[in-house]
Amino acid sequence: MSGLPGIDDLSSVGGAKADYEPVEDPTTDLAAAHWNVVAMNATAVTQTAARAWVSVVGKASSPPDDPVSNVHGAVWGNAALVKPTMARTGAGVLTATWPTSITDALGISQTVNLRRAWASAEGTVPYFVTATVTAVNVVTLRIFNAAGAANDAVGVTFTIFVT
């Protein structure tokens, strides 16, 4: 059993359960059949759910700016301690670096292992963006203008999502 941000399945949380005896009071007791559905659904979500997101405003120097609101969030929380570090590493290239490990809601240390990333640009001016997981806790965002040239997109808000 790993818990988010890790990946689980039904077997990693002990498998399907069976009632020892009939449920006496369904208003206070949970039947195994119902628990099995909850456990199956919860562990299935760990296979595909987004783990974290961060928004950043394009800038021609490092670090890029935070937007006014809704800066970041993750399955492990949104405290400043777990906010990814943003950097501009070149024209139209930003990196988001999350901590290598986090402490989950149960107090257990979990290793961050990002698998996939995607990004979006907000606004009316078209920009093309790519997001690539370049290390287990790092995503590289590349920004291009409509002509296909690398561009810092100064003042434009971008959001990176990771699984």
What are the pLDDT digits (tens) for 73-94? Answer: 999 988 888 999 999 999 999 9
Helix, strand or coil for residue 114?
A: coil
CA terminus-to-terminus distance, the chain = 18
pLDDT greater than 90 at residue 70: no
Alpha carbon distance 142, 56 (integer Å): 13
Structure confidence at residue 1 (pLDDT)? 60
- This prediction's pTM: 0.85
Domain ranges for the chain = 10-48, 52-162
AA identity, residue 51: R
Residues in the chain: 163
Cα–Cα distance between 112 and 137 in angstroms, integer?
Answer: 6
pLDDT tens across 9-47, in order? 889 888 999 999 999 998 999 999 999 898 888 888 888
pLDDT of residue 69: 84
How many percent of the chain have pLDDT more than 70?
99
How many whole angstroms separate alpha carbon 82 and alpha carbon 120? 22
